[in-house]
Structure 1
Amino acid sequence: MKFIKHFILFLIINFAALGFGILLMADGPKSDWYVQLNQAPWTPDDWVFGATWTSIMICFSIYMTFLYLKRPTRKVITLFVIQFILNVNWNFLFFNQKLIVVALVNIILLTILIFAFLITYFKDLKAKSLLILPYFIWLCIATSLNLYILIHN
């Protein structure tokens, strides 16, 4: 029961991050500004982003539940909050403010943070650490997309 309660809480918070991100990105990928950018040839179709982020946030919620139950520390919660802020902030910086360089720095910091989760808590979670791997891999892809747009526009 303790697991379910914490899982639902992390799920709500993580999907709230996605919701806030969507609200802050204005027209986002449908805006004239974004459509006219030179985008990476490996840019996925629009539907992939929603499916991927849904899967990632479910996995990340399970990961955070295991981690928090194992290490209910201020450090874990602080890192989680920073992750939340960086995740939401990227949409605002990139799509709303069109600050490609600042957004790139933001997503690099987020990628480093997620990698730090993976490495720092691997001994505690062992195979359960695989749950954060999709988030890290997707951030690497998203970072490459952001970098491509910076270089080619």
Structure 2
Amino acid sequence: MKILKLIVLFLIINFGALAIGSWLMDGGSTSAWYTNLNQAPWTPPGWAFGAAWSFIMICFSVYMAYLYTESPTTKVKTLFLIQFVLNVSWNFIFFNQHLISLGLLDIILLTIVVAVFLFTYMKQLKIKSLLILPYFVWLCIATSLNAYILFNN
């Protein structure tokens, strides 16, 4: 029962982060600023972002519930908080403020934090570590998209 409560808690927090991030996007991927940028040829269609982030946050919420159950340490809490701030702030930095370089730094740091989760707790969580893999892979793709925009605009 405890794991189910934690999954629900992390779902609320993580989908809350998505909602805050969307609110801070200032039109996001449909804004004139973004649509007029030279974008990477591998940029997914707009609908894929919402679908991907929904799937990622479901998996990440389950991952965090298991991790927190097994390791409710200050390190886990701090990493989660840093991840939350970096995830939400990228939307504001990149889409709202149009600070592409700072956005790239933000998303690189976010990718590093997610990699720390993945590799630090892999032995402890074993197969459950696969739950954070979609987040890591998507961030690698998103980082490449941000970098392409920086270097081609």
Please tell me the root mean square deviation across aligned C-alpha atoms, in Å.
Answer: 0.4
The match for 2:10 is 10
What are the residue-to-residue correspondences of 1:2-151 with 2, within 5 Å? 2-151=2-151
- Displacement after TM superposition at 1:128 (Å): 0.5
Q: 1-side partners of 2:115 and 2:126: how far apart?
A: 14
Q: 1-side partners of 2:128 and 2:30: how far apart?
A: 36
Q: In structure 2, give the amino acid aligned to 1:46.
A: G
- Displacement after TM superposition at 1:6 (Å): 0.5
Q: In structure 2, give the amino acid aligned to 1:34.
A: Y
Q: 2-side partners of 1:29 and 1:66: how far apart?
A: 33
Q: In structure 2, give the amino acid aligned to 1:44.
A: P
DSSP-derived class of the 2:43 partner: coil
- Displacement after TM superposition at 1:72 (Å): 0.8
Q: 2-side partners of 1:114 and 1:27: how far apart?
A: 26
- Displacement after TM superposition at 1:74 (Å): 1.2
Q: 2-side partners of 1:31 and 1:45: how far apart?
A: 14
Q: 1-side partners of 2:29 and 2:79: how far apart?
A: 29
- Displacement after TM superposition at 1:30 (Å): 1.1
List alignment gaps of at least 5 residues for structure 1: none
The CA deviation string for residues 58-115 of structure 1, in whole angstroms up to 9 with x for no partner, is: 0000000000000011110110010000000000000000000000000000001100
Equivalent pairs, count: 153
The CA deviation string for residues 118-138 of structure 1, in whole angstroms up to 9 with x for no partner, is: 110011101100000000000
- Displacement after TM superposition at 1:51 (Å): 0.4
Q: In structure 2, give the amino acid aligned to 1:109.
A: L
